[in-house]
Amino acid sequence: MAPALLGCVLEHETAEGLVAVELTEVEAYTGQNDPASHAFRGQTGRNAVMFGPAGHAYVYFTYGMHFCVNVVCQPEGIPEAVLLRAGRVIEGEGLAAARRSALRPAVASPGTATTSSPDPAPPNPVLRHAAPGRLAARDLARGPARLCQAMAITRAQNGADLCGPASDLRLRPNPGDARASDPPTINAGPRVGVSSAADRPWRFWLADDPTVSVYRPYKKRLTPRA
């Protein structure tokens, strides 16, 4: 399933508009026999969608600030999924860039809220710069959390039916994909940032595509966070 998803298009239609991304990099997670999978130790609140039917979005929140999206790939009860790691924005580039470069509200934390501003209160008092510099087109969805930010995919999309034509978040084959006559070269290698089963070459990407994220092997933290 993972290499088959390369070249397909993920679309998200929101009140702000439509953003479409052609997938250029994915990773497979086979669940119960894969120690790197969130489903390895069985079903939990977070990973429940992976145990549901295929074709739905498993969105998870990680590192306290990022979302990542997967496509569930097996029937109910078999928690296999493919992480969407990167893509090329083919529609709604302006909107994607705005989402990626705008000042973003920080996640609410106790004690930091409201009151101290003498000015008319901004929409959210705690703001953080997301991407001060100019943003290259190739970087809009280059990485799993960047892809979610560019497409406004959050917890709200967890469980979305990617194959439902009425769904706001949907996956479709790429009509401009010429692979039938001129198949793209697909490369495979170890997954990014994965500490266990790091030898399994289950990351797949389109060769020579600039939107593919930079490979970073797993590194243990020198000073673990409290």
Chain residues binding DNA by CB under 7 A are 27, 29, 36-39, 41, 44-47, 50, 58, 60-66, 68, 70, 81, 83, 100, 106-109, 126, 128-133, 139, 143-147, 191-195, 213, 219-226
Name the minimum Å distance from CB 40 to DNA: 8
**DSSP structure class, residue 54:** T
| Nearer to DNA (CB atom), residue 133 or residue 176 | 133
**Cβ atoms of 140 and 146 closer than 8 Å:** yes
In terms of CB distance, is 184 or 190 closer to DNA?
190
Query: SS3 of 5, please?
Result: helix
Q: In whole angstroms, what is the distance from residue 92 CA to residue 108 CA?
A: 29
CB of 81 to DNA, least distance (A): 6
User: What is the separation of C-alpha 91 from the centre of its chain, rounded to a whole number of angstroms?
Assistant: 17
* 3-state DSSP assignment of residue 163: coil
Nearer Cβ to DNA (41/172) = 41
Q: Is the dihedral of CA 36, 5, 50, 171 positive or negative?
A: positive
At its nearest, how many Å lie between DNA and the CB of residue 218? 7
Comparing CB distances to DNA, the nearer of 113 and 178 is 113
